[in-house]
Amino acid sequence: MAKNANENLKKGLGALRPVRLDQQPDWGLSQEDVEETLVGRQGPALLFGTFPPSRVLSDLEARGALDILRGRGYEDFEFRSEGEDAFENRIRLYGMHPESDGPALLMDVRTHRGELAGRSMCLDKELHVRALIWEWLSFQDPLVGFPAGIEALPGQDHPGLGIFRISVDLMLDYVDEMDIDALVGLPQYFHNAVLYSSQFRFFKPELEGEFCGLRRDLLGEGLARASRALVEGRVEESGSGRRVTWKAAEQVYPIRGDIQAHFQHPAYAVEVRRTLGENRFRLLDG
């Protein structure tokens, strides 16, 4: 199980390659021993394997997120640890609602912690990055459908809860407390990258430049329409006629060390501006 999860994650990483994705010590235990200990006998849910649910709920309360959820009819919030394998950290927030037969899933956060390596052309050196890999993050109201005329984002089954920005800002505060160099996201869709872009940048500056061009040229069409067009291959680079489709790549929130220096290097900004200036995109009719 752990091997399959790690293999799926490796497929999503490009410029930064996994060196180690679990950081579990070798105590001479079999896979069955490990899974029985870490899965069959789980302790309390810990966000990112570090932060207890009591603190997370208290902080969400202080920032107004739980009041927003109460305004939607939810009460009795509970975090549960539901990792799919022995090395994955996955916690979910549930709430009770009068219209639900049982606890409703409101928040789903799945991460791996490990070490990544990749070459920085800006620093002209190989980087080794202690990272929390943000594999999946979801905030949806499972009891609500989309109103007429409102287009769902790709991969979205229900509308959001109105707590995305509050929750992400809180999680970034937590990440700053951890002994890691960076938080690495793998946005599966264009709209994911847009939502994270105020604090995250793509590791490769040419990808960041192209992404900035996509935002500049497509967001006027609406976020959902632009994101869906990139999934369906209905975006064209005007100069070359190249069809553009969205591919997940490493979007990084740097904290310290060489990975932070990579993004602060003048060569990074120069390459972003060059790529941005060379590309123009347009959305094609479906």
* Tokens representing residue 280 in the block: 């123009």
What backbone torsions phi and psi does residue 189 show, to the nearest 5 degrees? -140, 160
- In the predicted model, what is the mean pLDDT of the chain? 84
Residues 226-254 have pLDDT tens digits of 999 999 999 999 988 999 999 989 999 99
Q: What is the largest CA-CA distance in the chain?
A: 58
Task: Name the burial class of residue 267, with classes exposed (0-12), middle (13-18) and buried (19+) by CB atoms within 10 angstroms of its CB.
Answer: middle
Q: Which of 46-55, 69-78, 120-129, 164-173 has the lowest mean pLDDT?
A: 46-55
With contact defined as beta carbons under 8 Å apart, do 92 and 79 qualify? yes
Q: Interior CA angle at 285 toward 279 and 286, to 5°? A: 120
HEC readout, 60-116 = HHHCCHHHHHHHCCCEEEEEEECCCCCCCEEEEEEEECCCCCCCEEEEEEEEEEEEE
Alpha helices in 154-265 (DSSP H): 164-177, 190-196, 205-218, 223-232, 257-264
pLDDT of 68 over the 50 cut: yes
Q: How confident is the model at residue 1 (pLDDT cuts 50, 70, 90)?
A: very low
Q: What's the average model confidence in pLDDT over 67-95?
A: 84
pLDDT at 259: 96
Q: What is the structure's pLDDT at 5?
A: 41
Q: Compute the distance between CA of residue 29 and CA of residue 51 in angstroms, rounded to an integer.
A: 27
